[in-house]
A and B are shown apart, each in its own frame.
Chain A
């Protein structure tokens, strides 16, 4: 099962420990995390369920290809990392 980890920058606001979850796509894996931690969802998704513009999601060290539908396939050993997209400074 894939592992989803979150930036430690979120610890100021709420708990966001790494989670090992079911899911064969990026979207399914994130949905599984938010099912158990609903407060976390609003930090990552906007009101329409899309990734926030300034949130980055990497799979095994590479940016997710589909930021709209989160359809990137993920396997049991994959590492998903959610963090703030840096824009300089």
Chain B
């Protein structure tokens, strides 16, 4: 099972490790600064994206052995053409919102607000905008997320069998696929519906607010989606989706984690739907299915069950490579860890800032 957990918060990065049988903070970095994404690679390198309110998005790397952090090149948009004045979205990096390994040595993908996808082939030293996606006319139909004006790419799924086969999830623009390492893209999702849209647009793939995508590593055709108004599952790599109506205690939420080996197992952290965004009845629960979504268990052992108002954001739930260890963090700074697939949870004796992202180390 994983030995390290990285927790990106509104006020810094926290690295947790076991200490005397309990999880505790082993190191801190970037105290005071928002950490929007973190990635811990198998070779021990750690990447952290900062979302500095005044000075923009930044990207840092900790070397595997030396343990020293240094700033990397940051993804940047090319000059905006003068004749592109009607583009509703800025050509400037707003936030690094997802950071994923590319399945090839040195390759990383970064999903951003305002919707640019960037690739590095040199371990994050330099970045190039995926022009094919950015220049698609449909991109101008993407809409903003969380009340903001900028859309964002929050999920980048690289097929473990083929690094050229990529899915991205966009808030708000559905699921897009490339079979050629990003040279071309298609909007692929069918079967989702957006209950808040006018009737004639409800099933339009591009208006679907996918909050988060997670795919089973061993059976990559299986992809789970926590959507704005429900949970959906695909067994054909994101093309066709069917709604999972058994989810309890509510169908709204942000986070989803897919079991790395079992395509029928996934975890969610539901909340009261959109205008409230708090746990149902003030009780934090994790919903787990082990039968492909036909039924769910409400996992509560060790989780607060009285006056708890913790919201779990889309990058704040993770499962390790064994499928037994899970961790999630909340907008109230709560952090819970399970070492038995979610049956029971413990909370380290620490109080953290609001949590944006939780990631196990792959090292």
Is B119 among interface residues, defined by CB-CB distance under 8 A?
A: no
Per-residue CB proximity of A28-66 to B under 8 Å, as 1/0? 000000000001001110111100101100000000000
Q: B80 to A48, Cβ gap below 8 A?
A: yes
The total of chain B residues at the interface (CB under 8 A) is: 18
Query: Smallest CB–CB gap between A18 and chain B, Å?
Result: 18
Q: A42 to B54, Cβ gap below 8 A?
A: no
Q: B71 to A55, Cβ gap below 8 A?
A: no
Chain B residues near A39 (CB, 8 Å)? Answer: 71
Query: Smallest CB–CB gap between B134 and chain A, Å?
Result: 12
Q: B56 to A43, Cβ gap below 8 A?
A: yes
Q: A13 to B55, Cβ gap below 8 A?
A: yes
The total of chain A residues at the interface (CB under 8 A) is: 18
Q: A42 to B56, Cβ gap below 8 A?
A: yes
Which one of A9, A48, A52 lies within 8 Å of B79 (CB-CB)?
Answer: A48
For chain B residues 27-61, which have a beta carbon within 8 Å of chain A? 32-33, 52-56, 58
Q: A47 to B54, Cβ gap below 8 A?
A: no
Query: Smallest CB–CB gap between B114 and chain A, Å?
Result: 10
Is B358 among interface residues, defined by CB-CB distance under 8 A?
A: no
Which one of A9, A14, A42 lies within 8 Å of B76 (CB-CB)?
Answer: A42
- The CA-CA distance from A54 to B32 in the complex, in Å, is 17
Q: A47 to B58, Cβ gap below 8 A?
A: no
Q: B55 to A43, Cβ gap below 8 A?
A: yes
Q: B77 to A48, Cβ gap below 8 A?
A: yes
- The CA-CA distance from A49 to B32 in the complex, in Å, is 27
Is B338 among interface residues, defined by CB-CB distance under 8 A?
A: no
Q: B54 to A55, Cβ gap below 8 A?
A: yes
- Given contacts A13-B71, A14-B71, A55 and B55 within 8 Å (CB-CB): yes
Q: B56 to A46, Cβ gap below 8 A?
A: yes
Chain A residues near B56 (CB, 8 Å)? Answer: 42-43, 46, 52
Which one of B32, B54, B76 lies within 8 Å of A52 (CB-CB)?
Answer: B54
Is B280 among interface residues, defined by CB-CB distance under 8 A?
A: no
Is B93 among interface residues, defined by CB-CB distance under 8 A?
A: yes
The listed residue with most B CB atoms (<10 A of its CB), out of A42, A44, A84, is A42
Closest to A54 in B: B54
Chain B residues near A54 (CB, 8 Å)? Answer: 53-54
Chain A residues near B90 (CB, 8 Å)? Answer: 46, 48
Closest to A84 in B: B54
Chain A residues near B77 (CB, 8 Å)? Answer: 47-48
- The CA-CA distance from A43 to B58 in the complex, in Å, is 9
For chain A residues 1-39, which have a beta carbon within 8 Å of chain B? 9-10, 12-14, 39
Is B74 among interface residues, defined by CB-CB distance under 8 A?
A: yes
- The CA-CA distance from A84 to B53 in the complex, in Å, is 9
Closest to A52 in B: B56
Is B235 among interface residues, defined by CB-CB distance under 8 A?
A: no
Q: B91 to A47, Cβ gap below 8 A?
A: yes
Is B130 among interface residues, defined by CB-CB distance under 8 A?
A: no
Chain B residues near A85 (CB, 8 Å)? Answer: 54
Chain A residues near B79 (CB, 8 Å)? Answer: 48-49
Is B92 among interface residues, defined by CB-CB distance under 8 A?
A: yes
- The CA-CA distance from A51 to B80 in the complex, in Å, is 15
Chain A contact residues, CB within 8 Å of chain B: 9-10, 12-14, 39, 42-44, 46-49, 52, 54-55, 84-85
Complex A-B: 8 CB contacts under 8 Å? A39-B71, A42-B58, A43-B56, A47-B91, A48-B77, A52-B54, A54-B53, A55-B55
Q: For the complex of A and B, list the 7 residue pairs with the smallest distance between their C-beta atoms, beginning with the closest.
A: A47-B92, A84-B54, A46-B92, A43-B55, A47-B77, A54-B54, A47-B76
